[in-house]
Structure 1
Amino acid sequence: MKIKSMTAVFGKLTGQRLALAPGFNLIEAPNEGGKSTWAAFLKAMFYGIDTRDRDKKGYLADKNRYQPWSGAPMEGEITLEWQGRDVTIRRSPKGNTPFGTFEAVYTGTQEPVPGLTGADCGELLLGVGREVFERSAFLGQSGSLAIQSTPELERRIAALVSSGEEDVSYTQAEGRLKEWLNRRKVNKSVGRIPQLEGELAQVRASREELEQLTGALNALAAEERGLRRKKEALEAELSAHKRLAQRDLDRRFTQAKGELDRAQADLDALRKEQARFGPIPHKEELKRAQGELAYLKALEPEIKQGEEALAQAEAELEEARSAARDDRFPGQTVEEAAESVKKAEGEYAAARKNAGTWALMAKLVPVIGVLAAGGMAVLALAQGDGFSFPAVLTGILFLVFTLALGVFNHSQARRSRAWGDQVLDRFSVKTPEELKGVLEDYRARVAAADQAAQQVRLVREGLSDRQARRENSRKDLFDFVHSFAPEVKDLFGCSAALSRALNLGEREAVAHTRLEGAQRLYDALKAQGGRVEEPGAPEPEAPRRTMEETAALLGTAQADLERTGRALSMALGRQKAVGDPAALAARQEELEGELERRSQEYQAISTALTALKEANAQLQERFSPELNRRAGEYLARLTGEKYTSLSLNRELEASAAGAGDVLPRRSLFLSKGTVDQVYLAVRLAVYDLCLREHHVPLILDDALAAFDQERMERALDLLVELSREEQILFFTCQSREGAYLARTPGVERVALDS
């Protein structure tokens, strides 16, 4: 079989295509370039993906690890040559199952390949199952090339030292015998024999328990019968108490019915009495009207006091106005009086000023005349004319004139003073200063009169307000009272009508309350089952205990009966659960027989397991010489003859020995590189023996990473030699393999895009 190409949507691969040659394919890529992903994709296309695998700490299941990074569905295609024809294999999702859909057709057609299915694809194409493939031709990136034994690989190798049949292995046979042995007995508590011993002990204990349960059931049944009789007697006594309670209830019910009838009759009588009047207003309105009536009565003395106060205020006003009248200021206001006083002060001041001026002139004019006459005489004498008559006459006339003028001025001064005195006399004062006192006195008397007038206005307004309120309240009160007592004429009638209405309302409210109370009592007693007492009914006999004592005893008896019933039911249930005595006896006999048979089987299987181990020990002495021989040859070539032989035990643990070594060295004592070379040799030997005939491609993913340069070159030479017959896919992240194989013919170098 040869792989020609692969196309994958798998992990980081998003539809990339990898074309392969028939021989040695050196596939180079750096870390994270997709090498391990291509190798895992190839294995998944052959064997599918285990959907039962789960993530663990430090480990991802393939179904999660290789989910396409792009988010696209996981799918892929491989074209290969098989049995002389090209075959195309496709896998894609089926619902949530990765690679759940499988298709295998001949390339270029839609003709299905017969017998090739998703379940057996790898085993049919490669000739081996997944476990053998992973331990031989598939050297994936795992950090170690070591091999672990599996039943399938063991069967393949066992065929080399037996008849060639691969149906059975020692591990499977040993496991089957141990499984049979464990089914019978693992230790003191696990296995069929301990189970039989335990069940037999339980059956015996159950038979003993049944005997004890029978006695307990008889005792519980007798106790239950006694408790039932006690309960029936207490129930009869409680029934008598209930009849007595019913009698008392009926009696109280009859009394309540009589009280209800009487309350209804009283209410009907009150309503009939009210029918003679108008509809009675609400109690609150009647009380408010009574308040208005009381207010009216309280207003009367207030109005009378107001009238008396008004008369007194008017008298005081008249007295104040009389006191405020002044002939000096007739009908004048205070402001006008002030103007009159101010004017009088001015007139007096002017008169006094004029009198002074006239008095001064009366004194100066005669003096001037005398001086003038004397001056004229002196002037005449100075001129030498003497005292001429004209001059004398002129002087005398001038003197007389000045004297007459002085007399006139003196008269005018006296008249001005008289006028000033007249101004003061009008106000009955002697001096101007007294005028201000007269004005202030007038001002005070006018203010008192004004205050008395203001008081009269206030008293009159208060009286008018009370009189208006009295009239309005009186009208409202009469309108209200006339709505239910139109015959009322005065306030006394209003008071009587209001009292009567309130009395009727209160009596009706009391009657209503009484009726409602009687109705509630009647309804409550009726709800309790009260009936009208029948006259002459016989009196029930009263029990010796109270109803509470009887009820308490009945509750205790009921609880005891229930407890006994539960115990009886549990005993019956336990008896039923334990089983029928005859069936238990039969089961005991059956178990004893089976226990004896299983004990004999246990001894036989133990003997067979011992014999199998002895046979296996003999087989291990000649375990697969061919596998050891071929692996030793490969190891000698890889190590340059340093190690010339190799031996494996059944668990495929390897030991290597050189030409001069006395004892082989276990792989635990070798370096990692040498261990990888040992197990590469083992894998190639297993490949030769198990897969070579099917021409399965060898897949190596960084398998030579731990090899030194010399041993790497030997390994590459060996692989190139094998590639002449088999297809090899060699993935590497290093350049040394490519450098060494650069001129080697038949090597196809492929560089992956990172």
Structure 2
Amino acid sequence: MKIRSMTATFGKLDHARLELGDGLNLIYAPNEGGKSTWAAFWKAMLYGIDTRDRDKKGYLADKNRYQPWSGAPMEGTMDLEWQGRDITLRRGPKGSAPFGAFSAVYTGTEEAVPGLTAANCGELLTGVGREVFERSAFIGSGGDLAVTAAPELERRIAALVSSGEEDVSYSQTEGRLREWLNRRKVNRSVGLIPRLEGELREVDQALEQLEELSGRIALLEGERTALSARRDLLAAERATHRRLAQRELDRRFAQAREELEAARSQLATLEGETAKYGPLPDKDLLKKAQGELQYLKVLDEELRQGEAARKEAEEVYVQAQIAAQDDRFPGMTWEEGVQAVQKALSDYNTGLATARVKGMASKLFPALGLLFALIAGVVGGVREGQLLSYPLYAGGFIFLLTLMAGFVNHTGRRAWEDRCAKLLERYRVQSPQELEELAQDYRRRCQAAEEAARQVRTIRGTLSDRQARRDNSRTDLLDFVHTFSPQVTDLFGCSAALSRGLNLDHELSLARERVEERRRRLDDLEAQGGGLPEPVGEAEPPARTPEETERALAETERRLAQTDQDLNQALGQRKAVGDPAALAARREELAAQLDRRQEEYRALAVALEALKEANAQLQQRFSPELNRLSGQYLARLTGQRYQSVALNRELEGAAARIEDVSPRNALFLSRGTADQLYLSVRLAVCGLCLPEKPPILLDDALAAFDDRRMVLALELLKELAREQQVLLFTCQRREGAALEGTSAVTRLEL
């Protein structure tokens, strides 16, 4: 068989394709490049995926580990050559099962390959089952080359012993004998012998149970007879209590009838008294009228308090009017007074500013005239050469004019100052600030008088409203009371009439309720069976009370029912246990079977011991052919350093050099040498036990080899690749360098 190509959606692979050639295929990929995923895909295409496998601590089942990272369904296709024909294998999802769908067709057609199914695909193509394939042609997956034992592999290796054929391995024979032995007895509770012993014990227990049940049935029948007699006695006692209870019920019925007649008579009396004063209004109306009466009392109190408040408010108003009068604001409101003060302040400020201007002018004009006269005298003296000259006369004249202007402005300033002083004097203040404060004080006094007047008006209006409401309420109340008490003339009479009406209404309600309650009680007693008493003979009351009698009777009936139930169960159990004669015959039969099975058990134990002794002798000659071929391969891989290999039935390997007296167990070898030992074993198994010569897949199997032994391993693989396809996955460049220039090697890089 040879692989032509593989296309996979598997783990990290997403529609990835791998084209392979004949002979040795060197496939390079770095770590996480997909080498182990391609190897797992190759095995899954052959043998499928075990959907029963589950995740464990530190371990992922293949169905979860290789779910496509892209989220697509797990599927793949493989083209290969088998028995001289090209075929195409396909696997994909089936429901929730990964790789559950399978097809095998001849390439280029859809013609199914006869006999090739999902279950037998791997075994037909490789010639071996999954266990042997994983321990032979599937090398180094996960970095572990060690070989473990498996029944199928052991059987195939055992067939290499001198006869060349062996249908059953030691482990299978030993397993079959142990299965037969365990079928008879595994421990104290499992197997044919313990089951027979259990059945024998059950028969003995059934015989004992029959004897116990017979005695119990006799006791229960006697107890049932005694309880039946006690139940009849208590039933008669209960009947006596019921007759006495009926007599008491009739007495209470007669008493209730008399009380109903008395209640009806009292109600008639109250209704007659009510008719004497006229029909009473409804109770709610009476209560509402009482509320109105109380409200009138409240209104009277409020009117008294309001009159006092009115007098107080009028006094406050008079005082506020007196305080608001001011001769500086005769007949003015506070708004007019404030406006007059504002105008006076404006005139004052204007006059004061004018006085300042005129005062400055009275000083500035003479100074300017004097300065002009001096300048004119200097100019005249300079130009005419004498002090008295025409410019000096002109300057003097102008000085006289400015002096007169200054006097006029001085006089005007005094006049304006007098006018401002008169404005302040009119309001009897000393400054404009005092004038402003006077206006504000006048406004506050006037506003206080207005507020007092408003308060007086409000209180008077409230008093008028309360007076009107009181008069109206009093009239309405008297009109209401006159409907059932026309003689009432004042509020005191209204209060008495309302109280009398409410009390009478309350008594009428109580009387009606009393009549209704007595009537219901009489109806209830009648419903209980009460009636007029009839003469009956005297009955002696039992010693127990009715409750005690009922409890005793109920307990007796319960015990009687339980006894009947227990008796029926005991009779049923005796019937279910079976016939004593049949049980005795069954016991004899079981004892005979037990003796026979115990004899078989002893014979199987002797046979198993003999098989172990024979196997110990065969251990000395376990598969010499496998040891021989493994030794040849190991010698080539180690450069003739190790010459022989020894394997036991557990496939634990040991290697020996020429100078060694005995072989060394793999545990004493270096990692690289141990990998070379087990690689030799796997290659030998491929050559001896795989008749179909399937491709050999090595996943980083040479990682622990040094450079020299790596070259030797490549030489061996090239030689094997002449007969069967070899797929060597590696994450290192040294294998490619060692095979540089070598023909018949297909080099791929993922």
Q: Which category describes the TM-score, using the shorter chain as reference length?
A: 0.7 to 0.9
Counterpart AA for 1:582? A
Q: Displacement of 1:104 after TM fit?
A: 1.1
Counterpart AA for 1:133? F
CA distance in 2, matches of 1:27, 1:295: 113
Q: Displacement of 1:513 after TM fit?
A: 2.6
- Unaligned 5+ runs, structure 2: 304-321, 328-459
TM-score, structure 2 normalization: 0.72
Q: Percent identity of the aligned residues? A: 64
TM alignment of 1:602-681, pairs within 5 A:
602-681=601-680
2:141 corresponds to: 141
Relative distance call for 1:503 and 1:212 in structure 2 (3 A) is: closer
User: Secondary structure of 2:125's match?
Assistant: helix
Relative distance call for 1:577 and 1:709 in structure 2 (3 A) is: farther
Counterpart AA for 1:185? K
Q: Displacement of 1:498 after TM fit?
A: 5.6
Counterpart AA for 2:705? F
Does 3-12 or 202-211 show the bigger shift?
202-211
CA distance in 2, matches of 1:133, 1:262: 113
Which residue among 697, 721, 724 is the counterpart of 2:722?
A: 724
Counterpart AA for 1:513? E
Relative distance call for 1:469 and 1:90 in structure 2 (3 A) is: closer
C-alpha contact (below 8 Å) 1:253/1:530 kept by paired residues: no
1:710 corresponds to: 708
1:194 corresponds to: 194
C-alpha contact (below 8 Å) 1:90/1:102 kept by paired residues: yes
2:27 corresponds to: 27
C-alpha contact (below 8 Å) 2:145/2:701 kept by paired residues: yes
C-alpha contact (below 8 Å) 1:36/1:140 kept by paired residues: no
Q: Displacement of 1:163 after TM fit?
A: 5.2
Relative distance call for 1:500 and 1:187 in structure 2 (3 A) is: closer
1:12 aligns with 2:12: yes
User: Secondary structure of 2:99's match?
Assistant: strand
Relative distance call for 1:132 and 1:479 in structure 2 (3 A) is: same
2:593 corresponds to: 594
2:346 corresponds to: none
C-alpha contact (below 8 Å) 2:36/2:142 kept by paired residues: no
Q: Displacement of 1:723 after TM fit?
A: 0.8
Relative distance call for 1:495 and 1:120 in structure 2 (3 A) is: closer
- Unaligned 5+ runs, structure 1: 304-333, 340-459
What's the CA shift string for 1:84-108, capped at 9, x where partnerless?
Answer: 2211111111111110111111111
Relative distance call for 1:704 and 1:276 in structure 2 (3 A) is: same
User: Secondary structure of 2:87's match?
Assistant: strand
Q: Displacement of 1:461 after TM fit?
A: 13
TM alignment of 1:82-121, pairs within 5 A:
82-121=82-121
CA distance in 2, matches of 1:128, 1:291: 112
What's the CA shift string for 1:654-677, capped at 9, x where partnerless?
Answer: 222222322222222222211111
User: Secondary structure of 1:545's match?
Assistant: coil
CA distance in 1, matches of 2:482, 2:513: 29
C-alpha contact (below 8 Å) 1:2/1:82 kept by paired residues: yes
What's the CA shift string for 1:486-515, capped at 9, x where partnerless?
Answer: 687899997896676456424412311312
Does 619-628 or 710-719 show the bigger shift?
619-628
Q: How many residues align?
A: 596
CA distance in 1, matches of 2:728, 2:486: 130
What's the CA shift string for 1:17-46, capped at 9, x where partnerless?
Answer: 110001100000111111111011000001
CA distance in 1, matches of 2:565, 2:292: 81
What's the CA shift string for 1:281-319, capped at 9, x where partnerless?
Answer: 13464477679899999999xx9xxxxxxxxxxxxxxxx
Q: Displacement of 1:744 after TM fit?
A: 1.4
Relative distance call for 1:688 and 1:275 in structure 2 (3 A) is: same
User: Secondary structure of 1:51's match?
Assistant: coil
User: Secondary structure of 2:112's match?
Assistant: coil
Relative distance call for 1:474 and 1:84 in structure 2 (3 A) is: closer
1:218 corresponds to: 218
TM alignment of 1:553-564, pairs within 5 A:
553-558=552-557, 560-561=559-560, 564=563
CA distance in 1, matches of 2:45, 2:465: 118
1:516 aligns with 2:535: no
C-alpha contact (below 8 Å) 2:26/2:747 kept by paired residues: yes
C-alpha contact (below 8 Å) 1:39/1:140 kept by paired residues: no
CA distance in 2, matches of 1:135, 1:646: 17
CA distance in 1, matches of 2:180, 2:298: 122
Counterpart AA for 1:84? G
Q: Displacement of 1:599 after TM fit?
A: 1.1
CA distance in 1, matches of 2:101, 2:258: 95
C-alpha contact (below 8 Å) 2:90/2:104 kept by paired residues: yes
CA distance in 2, matches of 1:621, 1:299: 132
CA distance in 1, matches of 2:668, 2:60: 32
TM alignment of 1:239-254, pairs within 5 A:
239-254=239-254
TM alignment of 1:309-348, pairs within 5 A:
none
CA distance in 2, matches of 1:240, 1:14: 97
Counterpart AA for 2:56? K
2:312 corresponds to: none
Counterpart AA for 2:608? L
CA distance in 1, matches of 2:589, 2:714: 71
CA distance in 2, matches of 1:91, 1:124: 16
Relative distance call for 1:517 and 1:731 in structure 2 (3 A) is: same
Does 487-496 or 161-170 show the bigger shift?
487-496
CA distance in 2, matches of 1:65, 1:14: 15
Relative distance call for 1:685 and 1:286 in structure 2 (3 A) is: closer
Relative distance call for 1:199 and 1:464 in structure 2 (3 A) is: closer
C-alpha contact (below 8 Å) 1:155/1:169 kept by paired residues: yes
C-alpha contact (below 8 Å) 1:7/1:16 kept by paired residues: yes
CA distance in 2, matches of 1:618, 1:36: 41
User: Secondary structure of 1:536's match?
Assistant: coil
CA distance in 2, matches of 1:294, 1:33: 104
1:748 aligns with 2:750: no
CA distance in 2, matches of 1:552, 1:626: 95
C-alpha contact (below 8 Å) 2:237/2:549 kept by paired residues: yes
TM alignment of 1:196-275, pairs within 5 A:
196-264=196-264, 266-267=266-267, 270-271=270-271, 274=274
1:697 corresponds to: 695
TM-score, structure 1 normalization: 0.72
